[in-house]
Amino acid sequence: MRLATLDDGTPDGRLVVVSPEGDRFAPAPVDTLQQAMESWAFAAPALAGISEFPEALDAALLRAPLPRAWQWLDGSAFACHGELMDKALGVVPVKTGKPLMYQGTSDTFYGPAEDVRFLTEENGIDFEGEFGVIVDAVPMGTSAQDCMKHIRLIVQINDWSLRKLAGPEMKTGFGWVQAKPPCSMAPFAVTPEELGDQWRDGRVCMDLLVDWNGERFGAANGEPMGHGFHELVAHACATRDLVAGTVIGSGTVSNANYREIGSSCIAERRGIELVDFGAPRTEFMRFGDTVRMQGTLADGRAPFGVIEQKVVQA
């Protein structure tokens, strides 16, 4: 099942069920995705039971599946990315066996084709290709094994970052605020069953193709997560309940053979250059630059659709 949200002039949009081909839709029996998440046991069968899609889908009306959420928690579950970022930012990591996670901006998720506004190029504008999950209500202290059943939908995310602000904010010990503007979501949120055997052990085992200004920048696969999504959810709910509609990200998708397959963010490329050449060579994004992201299954299908956005001056 694939779900999308159409722009109807309201803050949360109108929820629709999308055809397998991605070109038609049917109205959902609930108004918004947030409402569906809050009543998933009742809403999911009604949504899944829709088999006729009478209306043509206008891509121009597609918003983020969840245009705003009660909570956005982002992990950093790919070890090779974390190691490169520590070098690039000059941060000495704290050794811990727990997943890394921060709480970010959730009151806005950009739509898949929406221009993304920044005040200046000087803060180091960067994209970050990720996968994410949306959960129903998760009780405090739920085990990782039991958290698997609370993962209801999977999404594709571009976690925008301002890199020149990130290092100083991290070093304060208080975490990110200015360095992490709102994220973007690909147009379709999908149930785990849509990914078939490429959803394994709480991991999205598919390539994330990233193009910057029309040129392939990376094609990392989501399988090598050090912690699966069920473990990230368990970490998040260790001391608090998670409300339905909480979004949890994987962190930048990264593989150990990054020199061959590329990267899902510019900062990682700069980290590689720092290791290889002693200094970064790749500049960050400029106004007018575009980024395109598409998670791709082994058969070539793109279940989440495509994020394709331009960076513009606010």
What does each C-alpha distance from 116 to 71, 187, 236, 284 come to in angstroms?
21, 16, 28, 15
Q: What is the pLDDT of residue 174?
A: 82
Task: List % helix, strand, coil for the chain (3-state, nearest 5).
Answer: 25, 30, 45
Instruction: Give the residue ranges of the chain where pLDDT is below 70.
Output: 86-94
Q: What is the pLDDT of residue 295?
A: 98
Token reading at 72: 């956005």
What does each C-alpha distance from 40 to 37, 56, 137 come to in angstroms?
5, 26, 9
Q: What is the pLDDT of residue 176?
A: 85
Q: How many CB atoms lie within 10 A of CB 129?
A: 28
CATH classification (class only), 64-313: alpha beta
Laid out side by side, the sheet with 290-296 consists of 116-118, 307-313, 290-296, 207-212, 215-221
pTM of the complete model: 0.95
Give the chain's end-to-end CA distance (angstroms, integer): 36
Q: What is the pLDDT of residue 173?
A: 78
Angle at 181 between CA 176 and CA 185, to 5 degrees: 120
Portions of the chain given CATH number 3.90.850.10 = 64-313
